Structure 1
Amino acid sequence: MGSLLSPGSWITVSGTSLAVFGLVAYATDHPTLNLVGLFSGIPVLLGGLALKSSELPPVPWLQPPDAQSRTLRQTVATEVQRRLVKDVRRWRYGQKAHLESSLEILKLWHRDKPPQLTGLRENDVQGHYQLTMRFRLGSEEESQAWFDRRDRLARFFGPGLEAAVVVVDSHCIEVQLLSC
């Protein structure tokens, strides 16, 4: 259902509607409406299809945030944590995965099988805000690279954060960013 609400879908539906309107106007011998419908509908339809082909949907919640988590995010979370949630919870276009550039800088990106951010979770840890990001890895050997770079993860995401890497299974890890 979520992919039907994407901007790419809306543009594709709008372009299709305009193109069909132009074809109907052509069939009913309305030349002005025909030109408007076809000449605007077909480019909009092609643009929508181009967006749909490069679309990256928002990352789902592992468990929906409750009111307390949302309040903690607004009051206790660092600016980086708030921007991370905002960034990965929107539609992206022209990228292979969420946080692609950040993972490239951290040397955790692999071109053949990039890590995929598959879910988010917000927790209250003794009054501190914790953002957990779950990644699906391309291979089992990658998890060691994440462990080796956990100090760099904390420095990369800014001061006031502690980073932890937790193995969920052989192809899945969680990065926990705790506000201090």
Structure 2
Amino acid sequence: MGSLSSPGSWITVSGTSLTVFGLVAYAMDHPTLNLLGLFSGIPVLLGGLALKSSELPPVPWLHPPDGRSQTLRQTVATDVQRRLVRDVRRWRYGQKAHLESSLEALKLWHGDKPPQLTGLREDDVQGRYQLTMRFQLVSDEESRAWLDKTDRLARFFGPGLEAAVVVVDPRCVEVRLLSC
């Protein structure tokens, strides 16, 4: 999903079009069309620009899901896993990072430089659904804090899940949620 397909982009383009329409109507001495274009175009344009400035794009797939993974998500995955995928695969506005409130509750949020969710992956693990979330960390020391929270992650995301934290490199961890 490119940034041109975001709701903020569509609203900005609509506002720009209405504003240009109003300016052309003004130049051609059409007062009614002028008012319509400018009085509706400028607020829509400003609203679109405001959305664009606080936009958080959907998290990309590390590997595109295959048919088997999608079937498992619909049949075997827990409600929490399905909600996580829905939540991070849509455009967000006014947040610094995906899963902001969850990371704050887990005490894995670090002020102005939060961990960033950089990718998702779905896997079939012996007929069970596994959702893998890859986080980019700010410092090398943070990975230790994530490893220490493994038990809390399993409890936080609810019953029916096993959680594992895998350190990919000192500044990158994966949280794997496996349905039971």
The CA distance in 2 between the partners of 1:52 and 1:34, in whole Å, is: 26
User: Structure 1 counterpart of 2:59, which letter?
Assistant: V
Query: How far 1:36 moved relative to its partner?
Result: 0.2
Write the mapping of 1:43-122 to structure 2, written as runs, cut at 5 A.
Answer: 43-122=43-122
Percent identity among equivalent residues? 86
Query: 1: distance between equivalents of 2:15 and 2:81?
Result: 37
Asked if residue 6 in structure 1 is aligned to residue 11 in structure 2, the reply is no
In the alignment of these two chains, the number of paired residues is: 180
Cα distance per residue 1:39-91 (max 9 Å; x no partner) = 00000000000000000000000000000000000000000000000000000
Cα RMSD, aligned residues only: 0.6
In the aligned structure 2, how far is the partner of 1:112 from the partner of 1:42? Answer: 32
Distance 2:167 2:144 in 1: 10
The aligned counterpart of 2:24 is 24
Amino acid corresponding to residue 169 of structure 1 in structure 2: D
Match of 1:134 in 2: 134
Superposition pairs for residues 155-174 of structure 1, below 5 Å?
155-174=155-174
Alignment of 1:41 onto 2:50: no
Matches of 1:100 and 1:139 in 2, distance apart?
18
Structure 2, gaps ≥5 residues long: none
Q: CA deviation at 1:113?
A: 1.6
SS at match of 1:153: helix
Q: Secondary structure at the match of 1:70?
A: helix
What TM-score do you get using the length of structure 1 for normalisation?
0.99
Q: 1:154 aligns to what?
A: 154
